[in-house]
Structure 1
Amino acid sequence: MRSSSLSTALLLSLVPSTFAAGILRFGCSRITVERLDPLVTPGQNPSPHVHQVVGGNAFAATINHTDVATLADCTSCSFSEDFSNYWTANLYFQARNGSYKRVPQMSNRFLKGSNEGMTIYYFPEDLRSNVTAFKPGFRMLVGDASLRGPEGHTPKNCFRCFTGPNFEGDNAAPCADPVLDTPHLPTRPCLGGIRSNIHFPTCWDGVRLDPDDHKAHVAFSVGVNGTYACPATHPVKIPQVMLEIVWDTTAFNDPSDWPATSDNTTATQPFVLSTGDRTGYSQHGDYVFGWKGDALQRAMDSTSGCSASTCGALTSQSFVTANRCLVKRQVHEDVEGCKWLPSC
């Protein structure tokens, strides 16, 4: 089995036969690529760096703290009841001449038809426990755009270097392969592309929906003997949200095009996040909850019929429809490529 479908299969293989947890894995096309960040810098236009954004069309420089599902009227996700927004920093290639080019994303195998974007996962972390779905107004952030090294890095954020076409090298769950998965950007050509995985915390304090830092209300669980316990300060188990982006780096794999070291003899790692980060440690994800009504809770409570991109408890739409959901560009600048800027 290939592609991230293997990741889903690994998750399903852990589920006891007596309880089939609700597991969602679905594609969302991009709705915009621009410098906006309504979570960290609300109202600022432009924000400090470029993001790729998927989900509902309520995305803007500011998103009111209300039920986002009532603000949006379309979504780029294949489940039509998900009006949430998800966004990450973009990846750029820097050529030897100093110019930059945005690295496009490609659809995960078996989720073809999306317009770039990303794959979204929701599942109970230990696949055995019930979870409480997020409430309207809930938002969170994982990762740190200012990081340039391992100190403070979220262990469950990683990059995987695909060793060949058709997702070759996808032979373990995300962030579980000590060879192919790294917290930093791969330093060698990845013949099949680079995958980003971003895991959000799975424990909530049960009270706050969006504190000032967008982080203090959630926490990572502690794994003990194959189970995952929430700390007493954050006792409510929430769904594991994971973002998965497959960067199509195949057009940039010739080391002769890569920047060279000062002695002009050795090619150096050519990719840079839109945060201006060449290490990859600044990889981060933003989330604004926007599922309609109790749709997400129904899916998470399902003991049958919800597995990956098929869920009888939810309404699906085709990517033909999903790809029509866009937002009007609010920052008028070239985000596809640039020259000699500290960040894109």
Structure 2
Amino acid sequence: MRWTGLLTLVFAAPSIAVVRFHCSQLVVQRVDPLVEPGSIPSSHVHQIVGGNSFNASMDPQKDMPAESTCTSCQFTEDFSNYWTAILYFRAQNGSYKRVHQLGNNQFETANGGLTIYYMQDAIYDQAQKSRVTAFKPGFRMFVGNVSARTLEDAARFRQLTYVCMETWTMRAPETMGFPTRKCKEGIMTSVRFPTCWDGKNLDSPDHMGHMSYPETGTFESGGPCPASHPVRTAQVMYEVVWDTKPFNTLDWPADGSSPFVWSFGDATGYGNHGDYVFGWKGDALQRILDVPCTFSTNCTRESQSKIQSIPNMNQCTQQPVVGEDIDGWLDALPGGYHAQYAPGSAGMR
């Protein structure tokens, strides 16, 4: 998975099989309707983007577009919710400070959030070659291993990576653990979801079993879906740019390890994960995926889809339902977590 020059390829291609857009931050709080439905608070802090019908339960029978009054995503018909954990900096005295997100390239004025990709083919292809199936109402999925603290634990999820950004458009090299040096322009995390669906289940007990990566090869190489998961879907990918620059002037660990830690206590980076709940209105996503289009139009002209301005995206927010300090210098991560560097070490007190 080489992403060197990704943006150059995207801008240069006259027609490309990818839709790329941004979603501003909707809310940051300890709520997780996928893994811990109904829990207020959930175990650790997340950043959530998308439709403002987001809540602690997220009944799959509910009509998310009808329940929402706005979306923080660029496409006005996308009321899906996308979320990841939050990154913290751990100071040498053991206290923690939240790392804020930045608007990604072209979206610098966005209120943090995520950049979302829906890919029909590899991003470096010059034309759309494949037809993929859009997700259905009630569909949801998860990717990653929250408990992973070693490379071996995380090996199943090699599609979750980090880039230490020396320039704003840098997308390589990628690592599976936290970068251990100071990154001039911040740290980017990429979360790539599976692309093969069993064609039957909208969810599964672990929120992963109904989806699979290709049987051989990768999505980018056109690897075939396994017989158990025959339906090819779009590659959903998140990019998150973490503003680690303010912490480059502070003292880092003398042993050369990273000072960053996920909100659930992972100080290795191997526990990176992402959650997705589908909420596009009607056939909006399928229309977009069905039309070969230019990146300059982002498929809006060809699919008759509408996008909103970044200021309008920024206005779609929620008040947290969990009242706690997540931004100050904290003695422990919200939920009582502490940095965990290796299997068996104390991650929570």
The bucket for the TM-score relative to the shorter chain is 0.7 to 0.9
Q: Aligned residue for 1:258?
A: 252
The answer to whether the aligner puts 1:292 opposite 2:292 as a matched pair is: no
The 1:272/1:105 distance shift into structure 2, 3 A limit, reads same
For the aligned residues, what is the CA RMSD? Answer: 2.2
Q: Aligned residue for 2:311?
A: 320
Specify every segment of 5 or more residues in structure 1 that has no aligned partner in the other structure, as ranges: 261-265
- State whether residues 106 and 246 of structure 1, in contact with CA within 8 Å, keep that contact through their aligned partners in structure 2: yes
Alpha-carbon deviation of 1:273?
0.5
Alpha-carbon deviation of 1:191?
1.3
Aligned counterparts of 1:308 and 1:89: Cα–Cα separation in 2: 31
- State whether residues 23 and 308 of structure 1, in contact with CA within 8 Å, keep that contact through their aligned partners in structure 2: no
Q: Aligned residue for 1:159?
A: 162
Alpha-carbon deviation of 1:54?
0.4
How do 1:15-164 and structure 2 match up within 5 A?
Answer: 20=15, 22-66=17-61, 67-126=63-122, 127-153=128-154, 154-164=157-167
Alpha-carbon deviation of 1:192?
1.2
Q: TM-score, normalised by structure 1?
A: 0.87
SS of aligned partner of 1:88: strand
The 1:22/1:296 distance shift into structure 2, 3 A limit, reads farther
Identical-pair percentage: 47
- State whether residues 138 and 289 of structure 1, in contact with CA within 8 Å, keep that contact through their aligned partners in structure 2: yes
SS of aligned partner of 1:296: helix
Instruction: Tell me the matched-pair count.
Output: 321
Alpha-carbon deviation of 1:310?
5.4
- State whether residues 293 and 299 of structure 2, in contact with CA within 8 Å, keep that contact through their aligned partners in structure 1: no
Specify every segment of 5 or more residues in structure 2 that has no aligned partner in the other structure, as ranges: 123-127, 339-349
Q: TM-score, normalised by structure 2?
A: 0.86
Alpha-carbon deviation of 1:343?
2.4
Alpha-carbon deviation of 1:226?
3.5
Aligned counterparts of 1:267 and 1:21: Cα–Cα separation in 2: 41
SS of aligned partner of 1:53: strand
List structure 1 segments (4+ residues) > 3 angstroms apart after TM superposition. Answer: 8-13, 305-310
- State whether residues 162 and 193 of structure 1, in contact with CA within 8 Å, keep that contact through their aligned partners in structure 2: yes
